Amino acid sequence: MKEPGPFDRILEPETQARDRSAPLIFVGMGLLGLILIVLVVSPFSIFGGGGDKGPSLAGPAGSASAKTPKVPSGYEALSRLFDDIQAPKGTKGPYALTVNLLQPVSDGRNLALYTYADGKWERLASATLVNSGSAATGEVAEMPKNVAVLRLTASAVQISGWLPAGAQPDQEALSVLTTVNPVDYAPNPDGTVAGSARSVPQANANVVPTIRASTPEQDNAVNTVLASPALRQEHISALVQIALQPGNAGIDVDYPRVNPARKADFTAFVTVLADQLHQANRTLSVTLPTPVKSGVSWDTGAYDWQEIGGRADTLKLRGVADPSVYYERMPEVLGFLKDKVDPGKVVLVIDRRSHEKASDGLRELSLHEALGLASEIEVRTPTQIAPNTSVVIVGKNIFQDDGASGLRWDEKAFAVSFEYPGLGGQRTVWIENAFSVAFRIDLARRQGLGGVAISDVSSDPALPAVLDTLRVYAESGNVQLSKPNGVLLRPTWQVQAGSSEAEAKGNIVWKAPPQPGSYDVSLVVSDGVIRAMRKVVLEVKPSTALP
């Protein structure tokens, strides 16, 4: 997903503030940060060309190694190893390194700059193609002693992503995905399909359209089709025809609520569909819900993992939805499935949406909705405000004296979260972002799964940016785990005028200025990646105007 970028975004909040103000949420890292980055990056090119003699370097920058060391299994070297690299005198990193390749390439996926030391390759940074594919460039913090461009082969990990109907794809995400799944089709009760193909922007990823049942009516249509051999065959024929359309590599089936009574029928449907797609040199992926453990036995509902896994090319596993028990239950689920299906065929679905849990159930939130809840402001001074008077203002959902927890890192859910008293009792919000997504990807890696499937690869700015995390996983097969800086999770207050005394519990005492007027007081919260600001406008009335 595309990084939000350093420019501030101004967003309308999802809920109305209760303090008579018009709230705004500001998200971003600041224009100044971008300017500073641009000014300090020093370009540094390693020139060379292909041919029998191998690449050569211009000037004192470095020299091509006589023989590039053997690369690890699952990687290929796209350039020679350049030794004795030296930074230009008087410069400081970061540096933009450009390395010429042995020969031009058109596939820009999974490229990275690597250095070789003590018999091991170490990843330095992501790389992108430049100069019509004859070179690759990347940014490094410090100048390495040597550098080469390696590619993680596409077969190492799978990274697929659903593109919701009507949504525009994140262009940068397309460069990381091995498969993009446009959600363009839905089942009809007569075996046909509703929907039509759309053009997916040029990408190196395979295009595999998704047929999804997402409404009760579509669920009923699936069960009706499965119950009839004739309708099943009609449905299979319709799906094969979609797979055979130019540019498509297969079909992705997502029927999450099949009636358990149709278990044998669903297996028969997958068996015949897979056979016909394979005969046409097309692939089949099937998304399945998480098996549920009851006592010592497991309930897989309408889905025979062993039979389906033996037929389909890829199985997408939707994980446990509740973040509070995700890491408690998922290892056990995956342990159960390893006896049923090759783990390399299984990819873990990664959801970019945040969640809120309370006595009324679990609901999904966008990142902006979650930060909007955390930044709600409530003014606790009931009367009109006179000059020089003190006003108590609190973060409504993070004020600890009211029973809220404030923003914190949840060691059990591996996510930023906060609790607050609300409708129906205590409510908990878990914020999905690059930190939490990395831990979920690492679960897939540690369990030996074939990869991950991203729930939404659209350019929706209300969802968290996870592109960098995915790129590292694609290029190296690993993932970098870290927690947000605790300082960033502390709320901060900004006042336009007057003085203030902020406390660590999510509240502030604002002393109004001596002059009447309208003044802004803002609450800034962060998930450790981006910041959200909500503003309240307070009116200071002249003393004589008060009753």
**526 domain residue, yes or no:** yes
CA distances from 31 to 7, 8, 10, 40, 522 (A): 5, 8, 14, 15, 20
Closest residue by Cα to residue 187 from 240, 233, 239, 227: 239
- Distance from C-alpha of 130 to C-alpha of 497, rounded to nearest angstrom: 50
Asked whether residue 189 is assigned to any structural domain, the reply reads: yes
Average pLDDT, the chain: 85
Cα–Cα dist 127/108, whole Å: 8
- The DSSP bridge partners found for residue 531 are 526
User: 3-state class of 200 per DSSP?
Assistant: coil
Do 511 and 467 fall into the same domain? Answer: no
Phi, psi angle pair for 404, to nearest 5°: -85, 160
Output the CA–CA distances (angstroms, integers) from residue 478 to 97, 152, 186, 448, 519, in the order listed: 23, 11, 35, 11, 49
Q: Do 437 and 490 belong to one domain?
A: no
Q: What is the pLDDT of residues 180-226, one digit of tens each?
A: 999 999 999 999 999 998 887 765 678 999 999 999 999 999 999 99
Query: How many whole angstroms separate alpha carbon 181 and alpha carbon 452?
Result: 13
* Most distant CA atoms of the chain, gap in Å: 92
364 inside domain: no
- Last residue of one domain, picked from the residues 111, 128, 152: 152
Question: Do residues 287 and 272 share a domain?
Answer: yes
390 plus 517 within the same structural domain:
yes
CATH code of the domain in which 528 resides: 2.60.40.10
Residue 102 and residue 214 in one domain: no
Mean pLDDT confidence for 8-14: 31
Does residue 324 share a domain with residue 385?
A: no
The C-alpha atoms of residue 448 and residue 349 are separated, in whole angstroms, by: 14
Q: Is-above-0.85 flag for pTM? A: no
Angle between helices 326-338 and 434-446 (to 10 degrees): 30
The tens digit of pLDDT for each residue in 153-168 reads 755 688 999 999 989 8
Question: CA 309 to CA 303: how far, in whole Å?
Answer: 10
Q: In this predicted structure, what is the pLDDT of residue 125?
A: 82
Residue 52 has pLDDT above 50, yes or no: no
Q: Which residue has the higher pLDDT, 475 or 335?
A: 335
Stretch 306-311: mean pLDDT: 96
Domain count, the chain: 3
pLDDT of 343 over the 50 cut = yes
User: H helices then E strands: how many in the chain?
Assistant: 10, 36
37 has a pLDDT exceeding 50: no
Domain boundary among 152, 176, 211: 152
Place of tokens 């209760």: 18
Residue 470 belongs to some domain of the structure: yes
Confidence category of residue 38, pLDDT binned at 50, 70, 90? very low
Q: What is the pLDDT of residue 384?
A: 87
Question: Would residue 2 count as lying in a domain?
Answer: no
**Tokens for 179?**
């498969």
The confidence score (pLDDT) of residue 202 equals: 60
Q: Which two tokens stand for residue 520?
A: 């802004």
Assign residue 183 a region (left: φ > 0; alpha: ψ between -120 and 50; beta: otherwise): beta
Number of residues written out for the chain? 547
Asked, for residue 532, whether it belongs to a domain, the answer is yes
Give me the CATH number covering residue 261: 3.20.20.80
Closest CA to 51 of 100, 93, 103: 103
One-character DSSP codes across 454-467: ES--B--TTS---H
188, 229 in Cβ contact below 8 A? no
Q: Do 220 and 320 belong together in one domain?
A: yes
Shared domain check, 202 and 273: yes
Verify that 78 and 185 share a domain, yes or no. Answer: no
In the listed set 119, 152, 185, which residue is the last one of a domain according to the structure?
152
In this structure, the answer to whether residues 146 and 208 fall within a common structural domain is no
Share of the chain above pLDDT 90, in %: 64
Write out pLDDT tens, residues 236-287.
999 999 999 988 999 999 999 999 999 999 999 999 999 999 999 999 999 9
Whether residue 1 is contained in a domain is answered as no
Domain of 162? 158-358+429-476
Which tokens in the block code for residue 149? 């461009």
Same domain, 337 and 388: no
Tokens of 361: 């159930």
From residue 360, how far is each of 33, 53, 404, 420, 424 by CA, in Å?
A: 42, 70, 18, 15, 7
247 in any annotated domain: yes
Whether residue 416 sits in one domain with residue 289: no
Question: Which of 17-21, 50-54, 81-85, 223-227 is the most confident on average?
Answer: 223-227
Contacting residues for 83 by C-beta, under 8 A, at least 6 apart: 62, 63, 64, 65, 145, 146
